[in-house]
Amino acid sequence: MIEKDTNLEDQALNDVIGKIEKGARIATRKASDVALIAVSKTRGADEIRPLLDAGHRIFGENRVQEAMEKWPGLKADYPDVELHMIGQLQSNKAAEAVALFDYIHALDRLSLVKALAKEMQRQDRQIPCFLQVNVGEESQKGGCDIEALPQLLEQAREAGIMVAGLMAIPPGDTNPAPYFALLAKLARDNGLDGLSMGMSGDFEAAIKLGASHIRVGTAL
Ligand SMILES: *Cc1c(COP(=O)(O)O)cnc(C)c1O
């Protein structure tokens, strides 16, 4: 958590942290068990620095190319940054992703399992991954089918990938809570702890339903 007296303040960050603390209290969870991923996609390095100066260290990006333009420089100044790849990942970007990121959230198919496992081995770098599940069964969205999850989990583990948990983006314009509950159940059924769910508009609901990682962009 942020040490408010030793760091510069960031109002939006403090507001989000306050909501996380409140949501955790209501859910009788510890706020420290919810990691806030500050989604910095589309923001320039000069917009990211205030959050770093305020003490925040966990960030998310959704495009490898964009992240490669911003983060090597920022990481040189703030080496303890933890960087999450939260977007769709193409197999041909696996090498760059493994080199730059500390977590990958959208592992959803065997071809990507193979590409990432190969790179992790080659670079001797283990990147924990979340398996993305298409909880709303939307054809245009990433994520594996609900029924395909046990098999993907087995394939990832066989390839030597450390599976941190599950990730989902519920359908828009509908109550996300049932989808968060479904993802939590799938994680339980498959013996996984991590739950990457909840964005600016719904992270409090996600915390109530067990999110371990929330991905917040516009609210920051
Ligand atoms: C952009 C993005 C977010 C953040 O969304 P906001 O609504 O801006 O908080 C979260 N997850 C993913 C996968 C994203 O691409």
CB under 8 Å to 144, separation ≥6 — which residues?
108, 109, 131, 132, 133, 134, 152
Pocket test for ligand 1, best of 16, 19, 36, 39 (most atoms within 8 A of CB): 39
Atom of ligand 1 nearest to the CA of 219: 9
The pLDDT, as a whole number, for residue 8 is 72
Query: pLDDT tens across 58-73, in order?
Result: 999 999 999 999 999 9
Q: Tell me the whole-structure pTM to 2 decimals.
A: 0.95
Domain 8-216: CATH architecture, name and number where available = Alpha-Beta Barrel (3.20)
Instruction: Compute the average pLDDT of residues 18-33.
Output: 97
Listed by start position, the domains of the chain span 8-216
214 Cβ closer than 6 Å to some ligand 1 atom: no
215 Cβ closer than 6 Å to some ligand 1 atom: yes
The pLDDT, as a whole number, for residue 7 is 60
The pLDDT, as a whole number, for residue 9 is 84
Query: pLDDT tens across 150-182, in order?
Result: 999 999 999 999 999 999 999 998 999 999 999
Burial track 145-182 (b if 16+ CB lie within 10 A, e otherwise)? eeebbeebbebbeebebebbbbbbbbeeeeebeebbeb
Atom of ligand 1 nearest to the CA of 199: 9
Query: What's the CA-to-centroid distance between 122 and ligand 1, angstroms?
Result: 30
Give percent above pLDDT 70 in the chain: 97
199 Cβ closer than 6 Å to some ligand 1 atom: yes
Query: pLDDT tens across 97-152, in order?
Result: 999 999 999 999 999 999 999 999 999 999 999 999 999 999 999 999 999 999 99
